[in-house]
Amino acid sequence: MHRTTHKTDWGVVVGRATGILVLLAGILFAAGLCNATPQDNSVPSIFDSHSTPADSIRHLSLFVLSITGLIFLVVFSLLSYAVVKFRSRAGDTEREPAQVYGSTQIELAWTIIPILIVVVLFLATARVIHAIQDTPKPAEAVEVTAIGHQFWWEFRYPGLGVVTANELHVPVSDSSHPTPTFLRLLSADTDHSFWIPQLAGKTDLIPNRVNETWLDPHQTGLFLGQCAQYCGTQHAKMLLRVYVDSPEDFKAWVQRQQQPVNEDAKEAAGRRVFERTACLNCHAINGTNGTGRFGPDLTHLMSRSTIASGAAENTAENLRLWIQNPDAIKPGSLMPAMKLSDAELDALVHYLETLR
């Protein structure tokens, strides 16, 4: 008898505790979403979308969430009801309950209703798949080739003759005059994945394969993302920044990137360091004999706000540290420690700072 009372308690507790936990989860979820919409886009929430493909995904997601949420409520209530209602009670006789083996009608019902739900979900999904994947490229689209490297991003604008790294600039797209950006995605080594949650879903960069994705942002600003496919030691610091510029800003940025390199003779000492050491095996600077492509193009290094694929701010101090001991910023990155003398380092950093 004593044992039976205990059983009763646990039944109620299971139901209530689960209810409370689900409620807590719901609150956290709501908090997460509120948290996700500050003005500066520092939280890259998928529900705070600012680009056509990300918007379509958000709409589909909310639809799927509401249907699955409804299913959850119904089944959860039924289960909780059964757990509370049919628990064995203190006053129960020792008799077994009625032995029921099944019911064809009921089982048919809970087969057919889920099939209908699946059909609805699938139709909604297929529509969005088609809308995102089979969109034709308009003539005004900006074309970019993105190449994933261990552990940084190379961006080439073949139509504009611009090469940069880690910080992608794209024009804002006006719905009356859309200028989306279409990206060809390649990889130089292992698999990577291009993911800016607020602008589009992710697409992998796979060696020996050409993938495509597109962005159609309708708000200017900086959008954050990072590599989303494990690619090796420093996968975590393969960060990604996308600047959505107004059409004028984008034009100005492109013009600056197209400028030839600064040819000031005073910087010759630093330039000689660059050309004489191993730097030029991996890095290119227009107008020097450095044409390496294992590392980022440095021609307009100072136009970027970060170095090491977003791992550190682009300051003179960080440049010095990065050149002398990359592991201090990004342990396991493929940049070797250059072991320059202080004089060489001063000259080199001074030279790099002129690459605007």
Partner 1 sequence: MSSDVMTIQSAAASGRPWTEVLHEWITTVDHKRLGILYILYALVFLLIAGFEATIIRIQLMRPHNDFVSPQVFNRMFTMHGTTMIFFVAIPVLFGFANYLVPLMIGARDMAFPRLNAFSFWLTALGGFLLYFSLLGGNGLYGAGNAPDVAWWAYAPLTSRAFSPGHSTDYWTIALLVSGFGSIGTAINLIATILCMRCPGMTLNRMPLLAWLNLIMAGMVILAISPLTAAQVMLSVDRYLGGHFFDTQAGGSATLWMHFFWIFGHPEVYVLVIPAFAFASEIIPVFSRKPIFGYPVMVGATACIGFLSLSVWAHHMFTIGMNSYANSFFAITTMAVGVPTGIKIFNWLGTMWGGKIQFRTPMLFCMGFLFQFLIAGLTGIMLGAAPFNWQLSGSYFVVAHFHYVIVGGILFALFGAFYYWYPKIIGRMLNEGLGKLHFWLFLIGFHLTFDVMHFPGILGMPRRIYTYEPGRGWDTMNFLVSVGAFVQGIATLVFVVNLVISYFKGAKAGNDPWDAWTLEWSVSSPPPTYNFASVPTVASRRPLWDLKHPEDPDSRYE
Span between the terminal Cα atoms of the chain, in Å: 84
Kindly state the smallest distance separating residue 126's Cβ from partner 1, in Å. 5
**Binding to partner 1 by residue 61, rule CB under 8 A?**
yes
- Burial of 104-124, coded b for 16+ CB within 10 Å and e otherwise, reads eeeeeeeeeeeeeeeeeeeee
Distance of closest approach, residue 184 Cβ to partner 1, in angstroms: 11
Q: Applying CB under 8 A, does 134 fall inside the site for partner 1? A: yes
67 to 106: interface string for partner 1, x by CB under 8 A: -x--xx--xx-xx--xx--xxxx--x---xxxxxxxx--x
Distance CA 131, CA 315 (A): 43
DSSP summary character for residue 33: H
| Residue nearer to partner 1 on the CB measure, 193 or 257 | 193
- Least Å from the CB of residue 165 to partner 1: 18
Establish whether the linkage from the previous residue to 151 is cis, with ω within 30° of 0.
yes
* CA separation for the pair 78, 336 (Å, rounded): 62
Q: Residues 231-270 vs partner 1: string with x where CB under 8 A?
A: xxxxxxx-x-------------------------------
State the nearest-atom distance from the C-beta of 220 to partner 1, in Å. Answer: 19
User: Which positions from 151 to 190 touch partner 1 by CB under 8 A, shown as an x/- string?
Assistant: ----------------------------------x---xx
Strand order in the sheet with 239-245: 167-171, 239-245, 221-226
Q: Which residue has the tokens 């030029």?
A: 280
Q: Which residue from 5, 16, 129, 259 is in contact with partner 1, where contact means CB under 8 A?
A: 129
Q: Which of 140/313 has CB closer to partner 1?
A: 313
- 66 is a contact residue toward partner 1 (CB under 8 A): no
How far apart, in whole angstroms, are the C-alpha atoms of residue 101 and residue 103? Answer: 7
Taking CB under 8 A as the criterion, the residue among 179, 218, 219, 224 binding partner 1 is 224
Phi, psi for residue 235 in degrees, rounded to 5: -50, -35
Which range, of 12-20, 141-149, 241-249, 266-274, touches partner 1 by CB under 8 A?
12-20
Among positions 51, 52, 56, 173, the unique one binding partner 1 when judged by CB under 8 A: 56
Tell which one of 64, 90, 328, 343 touches partner 1 (CB under 8 A): 64
Beta carbon of residue 166, minimum distance to partner 1 (angstroms, whole number): 14
- Residue 52 near partner 1 by CB under 8 A: no
3-state secondary structure of 26: helix
Binders of partner 1 in range 18-37 (CB under 8 A) = 18, 21, 24-25, 28-29, 32-33, 35-36
- Within 8 A by CB and 6+ apart from 53, the residues are 132, 199, 200, 201, 213, 214, 215, 216
Among 142, 156, 171, 204, binds partner 1 (CB under 8 A): 204
CA–CA distance, 254 with 248 (Å, rounded to integer): 10
Assess 309 for contact with partner 1 (CB under 8 A). no
Whose Cβ is closer to partner 1: residue 26's or residue 287's?
26
Is 221 a binder of partner 1 (CB under 8 A)? no
Residue-level length of the chain: 356
Q: How many CB atoms lie within 10 A of CB 155?
A: 21
Distance, CA of 66 to CA of 143 (rounded, Å): 37
CA 163 distance to own-chain centroid: 22
